Structure 1
């Protein structure tokens, strides 16, 4: 079934067709007419539902439960998050479908991402999530944790750079050593003593290496579950940490 063509698509198609005609006249290249150009815009009902530019895509493949139906402890967590952030991140709503898994995931996540011990900063931890989530092609985690990285680092561009290509991002040697280690774990490569020694060179010990590996492993699972459930990021995440917060 053909996807409904948006106004943007129509405008872009018209410009593309004019360019094609110009190239045909000037350089003898074959023209791609509207029919041939439009023929590429075919998609399934499934793709149309989740990627149509004309309508609001659902936040998840699976329906979120009503908050009133949730166990009291999970309702309390979600209420607290909403009060602090001003919205409920979709990952909380998604995982609330399975209360035991909700509790287990966020207990592990809190233990790794909010711990007071070790030499990794909160920005370091979010940086690991953004880089490895990019490798795992997880839209939700790139956007959501990119927002947290911008906030913790007080750097409005670092998350975009790391998500695009951590190797060329404007980061220092210590951060590069952290991501080099994390990406080896993410890609299932064999770690060598040199990888640990590089971390030690930048003041990171064996426990920090363990934390890097554990964060990478936990969010590898999170990435894949987000992809399976077609979880989409809340719109609020996109601007967080990019523009100064209005003073109340």
Structure 2
């Protein structure tokens, strides 16, 4: 009986260890799913976009299974802290404000902020007198939100939206006079054939690190340096072996990584 008990105990322990190992081989990644072309939900209800492809490539490089979890943008950091997932892959810029709450991998891309207006309008973010009494639309909680509030709060009214698409639609309908966002997020809207002649970029690039930080990185919980280092090595690997370039080419005609 003692031998049987010992055997059963050993079997239970082995299964527990195996289960722990299996859990360790899965990386749960959090994203928004409402920030095309970086992360969105396709017509089949599946997550798609640059962030998603990069996340999957990083998991493959780390020989780890990916599991994706979606969350509203404002809930991503709280959900990470609550251990609903292990890392954030959602085009989150590495800023000093965010670094007070979470840690980051190194960047996996970097882009400036741009603004757009209705074609023919005179509003211009580089000419503050044209912004007096105007409405500026941004997505809530992203770097362009911080940029607009810090730069124009005493001149124009800033309206924050849950998604960038909502801000863009209000520009088309005349409810806001200007929208500002990540340049790559705004480009498909401005260049969409349906919007030809209706909207245009204005004011050039805004790339002050005070607003855009040190590029876009993968967020991890405070102190999780081991995961951050694994992600850094995986980013370097997919840059070196051409995987990053293939994903980049799928979405953009320029190197998104930046300098």
Give the TM-score normalised by structure 1.
0.26
Where relative contact order (Cα < 8 A, 6+ residues apart) is larger, the structure is 2
Give the structure with the higher percent helix.
1
